[in-house]
Amino acid sequence: MKSTYRLSRMIILFILFSLSMGCSPAAKDRIADDSWTRISMMANLHTAQVPAETIELLLEEKTNTRLDIQWIPDGSYDAKMYASLATGTLPKALYLKNAASFSSMISEIRSGLFWEIGPYLDSFPNLSLLKQEVLDNIRVDGKLYALYQERALARQGVIYRKDWADKLGLGPPETLEDLYMMLKKFTLEDPDGNGRNDTIGLTDRSDLIYGAFKSIASYHGVPNEWGFVEDVGTIKLKPEFMFQEFKDTLDFFRRLHEEGLINKDFPVTSKADQQELLIQGKAGVYIGAMGDVVSLEARLQEVNPDASLDVHNRVNGPKGPKIWASSGYGTVVLFPKSAISTEEELLKILEFYDQLMSPEAANLIYWGLEDTHYKVVDGKAATLGTHNQKDKDVKPYQALMVGGFSTIPNMLVPYYNLEVKEKAERLIVDNEQFLVYDPTVSLTSETFNIKGNRIMESIHSAVYKYILGMIDEEGFDRAVEVWLKEGGQQIIHEFNASYLKKQAH
Amino acid sequence: MSETVIKAAPNPETKKKSQESGLLKRMIKNRSIYFMILPGLLYFVIFKYIPMSGLVIAFQNYQPYLGIMGSPWVGLEHFQRLFSEPLFFNILSNTLILFFINLLFYFPVPIILALMLNEVRINFFKRFVQTLVYVPHFMSWVIIVSITFVMLSMDRGIINELFVMMGFEKINFLMSTEWFRPMYVLQVIWREAGWGTIIYLAAMAAIDPGLYEASRIDGASRMRQIWHITLPSIRSVIVVLLILKIGDVLELGFEHIYLLLNSMNREVAEIFDTYVYTAGLKQGQFSFSTAVGFFKSVIGLILVMLANWLSKKAGEEGIY
Say which of A265, A454, A457 has its CB closest to residue B155: A265
Nearest to B284 among A104, A111, A460 (CB): A104
DSSP B104: I
Mean pLDDT, rounded, for A285-296 = 91
Q: Which band of pLDDT confidence, cut at 50, 70 and 90, is reported for residue B5? A: very low
Nearest residue, CB atoms, A85 vs list B64, B86, B283: B64
> A341 to chain B: which residues are within 8 Å by CB?
none
Q: Which amino acid type is present at position B87?
A: L
Instruction: Give how far the C-alpha of residue A427 lies from the chain's centroid of Cα atoms, to the nearest Å.
Output: 18
Is residue A275 over pLDDT 60? yes
Selecting from B63, B264, B279 the residue whose C-beta is nearest the C-beta of A111 gives B63
Residue A170 has pLDDT above 70, yes or no: yes
Same domain? For A168 and A293 the reply is yes
Question: B174, A265: Cβ pair inside 8 Å?
Answer: yes
Is CATH 3.40.50.720 the right assignment for the domain spanning B80-313? no
What's the number of CA atoms in the CB half-sphere (13 Å) around residue A476?
Answer: 21
Asked if pLDDT for residue A91 goes beyond 90, the answer is: yes
The CA distance from A400 to A385, in Å, is 22
d(CA A382, CA A394): 14
Q: Do residues A499 and A237 lie in contact, with contact meaning Cβ atoms separated by under 8 Å?
A: yes
More confident residue, B20 or A140: A140
Chain A CA closest to residue B65: A113
Higher pLDDT, A19 or A145: A145
Q: Is B149 within 8 Å of B174 (Cβ atoms)? A: yes
B-chain residues near A76 (CB < 8 A):
none
Give φ, ψ of A147 to 5 degrees: -100, 155
Q: Which residues of A touch B (CB under 8 A)?
A: 78-79, 82-83, 85-88, 104-105, 108, 111-113, 200, 206, 263-265, 267-268, 337-338, 450, 453-454, 457, 460-461, 464-465, 468, 470, 482, 485-486
CB contact under 8 A, A79 and B286: no
Nearest CB to B281: which of A82, A453, A464?
A: A82
Question: pLDDT value at position A270?
Answer: 85
Residues A270 and A308 in one domain: yes
CA distance A181 to A175: 10
On chain B, the residues whose CB falls within 8 A of the CB of A482 are 86
**Can you tell me the distance from the alpha carbon of B39 to that of A339, in angstroms, rounded to the nearest whole number?**
35
Query: Are A160 and A148 contained in the same domain?
Result: no
Closest partner CB to B262 (pick from A87, A105, A268): A268
* Beta carbons within 8 Å of B36's beta carbon, 6+ residues apart: none
A486/B264 touch (CB, cutoff 8 Å), yes or no = no
CATH number at residue A240: 3.40.190.10
> What is the C-alpha separation between A164 and B19, in angstroms, rounded?
92
Pairwise CA distance, residues A417 & A413, whole Å: 13
How many angstroms separate the most distant Cα atoms in chain A? Answer: 93
| Residue B156 to chain A, least CA–CA distance (Å) | 10
Distance from CA of A478 to the nearest CA of B (A): 15
Q: Kindly state whether residues A207 and A178 are assigned to the same domain.
A: yes
Average confidence score pLDDT of chain B: 85
> Do both A71 and A114 map to the same domain?
yes
| Average pLDDT of chain A to the nearest whole number | 87
How many CA atoms lie less than 13 Å away from A37 in the CB half-sphere?
23
Which among A442, A462, A494 is the end of a domain?
A: A442
CA distance A356 to chain B (A): 29
Kindly state whether residues A220 and A344 are assigned to the same domain: no
CB of B272 closer than 8 Å to CB of B296: yes
pLDDT at residue A239, as a whole number: 95
Is A381 within the bounds of a domain?
Answer: yes
Which residues are registered as beta bridge partners of A229?
Answer: A236
Tens-digit pLDDT profile for residues B278-320: 877 777 788 888 898 899 888 888 888 888 888 888 777 777 7
What residue spans define the domains of chain B? Answer: 80-313
Write down how long chain A is.
505
Asked whether residue A477 is assigned to any structural domain, the reply reads: no
Nearest CA in chain A to B284: A82
Q: What is the pLDDT of residue B145?
A: 92
**What CA–CA distance (Å, rounded) separates B39 from B45?**
10
Q: What is the pLDDT of residue B11?
A: 53
Check whether A488 has a pLDDT greater than 90.
yes
pTM of the entire predicted model: 0.76
Question: Which residues, other chains included, contact A226 with Cβ-Cβ below 8 Å and sequence gap of 6+?
Answer: A237, A238, A239, A240, A438, A439, A440, A495
Residue A76: how many other CB atoms lie within 10 Å? 13
Same domain, A342 and A283: no
pLDDT at A149: 92
* Same structural domain, A290 and A179: yes
Burial of A71 (0-12, 13-18, 19+ CB in 10 A): middle
Q: Reduce the DSSP state of residue A316 to 3 states and report it.
A: strand
- Mean of the pLDDT values across residues B182-209? 92
Judge contact between B285 and B78, C-beta under 8 A: no
- How many C-beta atoms lie closer than 10 Å to residue B44's C-beta? 11
Number of domains in chain A: 2
**pLDDT of A20 over the 90 cut:** no
Distance from CA of B173 to the nearest CA of A (A): 10
Q: Is the pLDDT of residue B262 over 70?
A: yes
The nearest CA of chain A is from the CA of B126 a distance in Å of 33
Contacts of A108 in chain B (CB under 8 A): 63-65, 284
B280 vs A255 pLDDT, higher one: A255
Is the ipTM above a cut-off of 0.85?
Answer: no
Alpha carbon distance, N-terminus to C-terminus of chain A: 84
Of the given ranges (A162-171, A264-273, B64-73, B284-293), which has the lowest mean pLDDT?
B64-73
Residue A483 within a domain: no
Is A272's pLDDT higher than 80?
yes
What is the model's pLDDT at position B20? 64
Q: Which of A83, A268, A338 sits opposite B65 (nearest CB)?
A: A338
> Each residue of B42-76: pLDDT tens digit?
999 999 899 888 888 889 888 776 777 878 888 88
Task: Please report whether residue A450 resides in a domain.
Answer: no
pLDDT digit string (tens) for B223-245?
899 999 999 999 888 988 888 88
Whether A460 sits inside 8 A of B263 (CB atoms) is yes
d(CA A306, CA B163): 35
Asked if the Cβ–Cβ distance from B263 to A206 is below 8 Å, we say yes
Print the SS3 string covering A225-278: CEEEEEECCEEEEEEHHHCHHHHHHHHHHHHHHHCCCECCCHHHCCHHHHHHHH
SS3 A299: helix
Radius of gyration of chain B (CA): 26
Give me the residue from B155, B283, B286 closest to A86, CB to CB: B286
Q: Are residues A311 and A169 in the same domain?
A: yes
Confirm whether A352 is domain-assigned. yes
Distance CA A231, CA A242 (A): 13
Instruction: Tell the burial category of B258 from Cβ atoms under 10 Å away from its Cβ (0-12, 13-18, 19+).
Output: middle
Write out the residue range of the structural domain in which residue A195 sits. Answer: 156-324+436-442
Q: How far is Cα of residue A48 from the mean position of the Cα atoms in its chain?
A: 17
Q: What percent of chain A lies above the pLDDT cut of 70?
A: 93
* A105-132 confidence digits (pLDDT tens): 887 888 888 999 999 999 999 999 998 8
Residue A267 lies in a domain: yes
Do residue B281 and residue A83 have CB atoms under 8 angstroms apart? yes
Q: What is each CA distance from A420 to A294, B43, B233, in whole angstroms?
A: 8, 63, 75
Quote the pLDDT of residue A79.
Answer: 84
Is residue B260 within 8 Å of residue B103, measured between CB atoms?
no
- Of the candidates A111, A267, A485, the beta carbon closest to that of B65 is on A111
A473-483 vs A453-467: helix crossing angle, rounded to 10? 180
Whether A451 is covered by a domain: the verdict is no
List of chain B residues whose C-beta atoms are within 8 Å of the C-beta of residue A94: none
Do A231 and A294 belong together in one domain?
A: yes
CA–CA separation, A287 and A211 (whole Å): 7
Residues of B in Cβ contact (< 8 Å) with A460: 263
Angstroms from A282 CA to nearest CA on chain B: 11
Using pLDDT thresholds of 50, 70 and 90, give the confidence band for residue A15.
Answer: low
What is the distance in angstroms between the Cα of B149 and the nearest Cα belonging to chain A?
9
* pLDDT band with cut points at 50, 70 and 90 for residue B14: low
Task: Check B282 against A265: CB less than 8 A apart.
Answer: no
The most confident of the ranges A13-27, A279-293, B15-29, B240-254 is A279-293
How many contacts, defined by CB atoms under 8 Å, are there between A and B?
78
- DSSP sequence for A141-198: TTEE-EEEEE--S--EEEEEEHHHHHHTT-----BHHHHHHHHHHHHHS-TT-SSS--
Collect all residues of chain B within an 8 Å Cβ-Cβ radius of residue A462.
none
Residues A305 and A343 in one domain: no
Q: Which residues of A touch B282 (CB under 8 A)?
A: 78-79, 82
A109 with A68, same domain: the answer is yes
Q: Is B38 a residue whose pLDDT tops 50?
A: yes
Nearest residue to B211 (alpha-carbon basis) of B196, B228, B236, B189: B228
Closest chain B C-alpha to A370 CA, distance in angstroms: 40
> Which comes out higher in pLDDT, residue A325 or A33?
A325
Residue A226 lies in a domain: yes
